[in-house]
């Protein structure tokens, strides 16, 4: 993995551990030679992620919609900053420029990005690993919900393990590096669906 799309919030939670987690993630990715592709913001966890990577000598590619860039939240310290017209264009650029997806704790926008990465993998629009950093148990309920969807039959057995979850970053990155793509829906026969 040369580049990872990293999804996280632009908010700064009251619990400062989350912002520090983002900064530490940026540093570790830079030390492993993995470039960060992210939402291009300078605030909250996004800003901390970028600062951690840049401070460690890493490459940071920001992709931000023009409406947000115009609100003075764009991070002009990025190695590259790309201003796009829409959120859809932004998410497509994440997919085009990345070798995998890493989700840190975040809110609604982070969930939108995570589930799109999982859905696109399931369909076969990409074959990259999708990692979920379940730091502080933040995503315990989401992982349980994923398991519930699989038990009911809304997630096929072949796709249950698309989402790779770990509570620590280093084991998560190791599992993402070792990821073997599954059979996407586009390649399945009707009787497998």
H helical segments located in 56-159: 66-69, 87-97, 108-123, 140-152
**What pLDDT is stored for residue 101 in this prediction?**
98
Which residue stretches of the chain have pLDDT < 50? none
In a domain, 184, yes or no: no
CATH code at 130?
A: 3.40.50.450
pTM value is 0.94
Q: Give a yes or no: residue 24 inside a domain.
A: yes
| Digit-coded pLDDT (tens) for 149-162 | 999 999 999 899 99
What tens digit of pLDDT does each residue of 94-127 get? 999 999 999 999 999 999 999 999 999 999 999 9
C-alpha 141/C-alpha 146 separation (Å) is 9
DSSP letter, residue 185: G
Domain total for the chain?
A: 1
Distances (CA, A) of 40 to 37, 45, 91, 135: 8, 11, 12, 23
Cβ 184 vs Cβ 156: under 8 Å: no
Position 156 in a domain: yes
User: Quick check: is 191 in a domain?
Assistant: no
In a domain, 192, yes or no: no
Domain membership of residue 121 as a residue range: 3-179
Q: Identify whether 7 is part of a domain.
A: yes
């Amino acid at each position: 993995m040369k580049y990872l799309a990293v999804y996280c919030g632009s908010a700064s939670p009251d619990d400062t551990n989350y912002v520090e987690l983002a900064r530490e993630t940026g540093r570790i990715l830079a030390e492993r030679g993995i470039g960060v592709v992210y939402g291009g913001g300078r605030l909250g966890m996004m800003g901390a992620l970028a600062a951690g990577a840049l401070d460690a000598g890493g490459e940071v590619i920001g992709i931000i919609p023009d409406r947000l860039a115009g609100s003075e939240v764009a991070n002009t310290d990025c190695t590259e900053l790309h201003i796009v017209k829409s959120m859809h264009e932004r998410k497509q650029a994440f997919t085009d420029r990345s070798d995998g997806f890493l989700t840190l704790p975040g809110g609604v926008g982070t969930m939108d990005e995570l589930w799109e990465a999982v859905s696109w993998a399931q369909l076969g629009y990409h074959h990259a690993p999708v990692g979920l950093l379940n730091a502080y148990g933040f995503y315990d309920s989401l992982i349980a919900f994923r398991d519930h969807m699989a038990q009911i039959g809304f997630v096929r057995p072949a796709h249950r393990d698309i989402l790779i979850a770990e509570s620590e970053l280093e084991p998560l990155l190791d599992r993402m590096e070792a990821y073997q793509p599954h059979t996407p829906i586009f390649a399945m026969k009707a009787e497998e669906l």
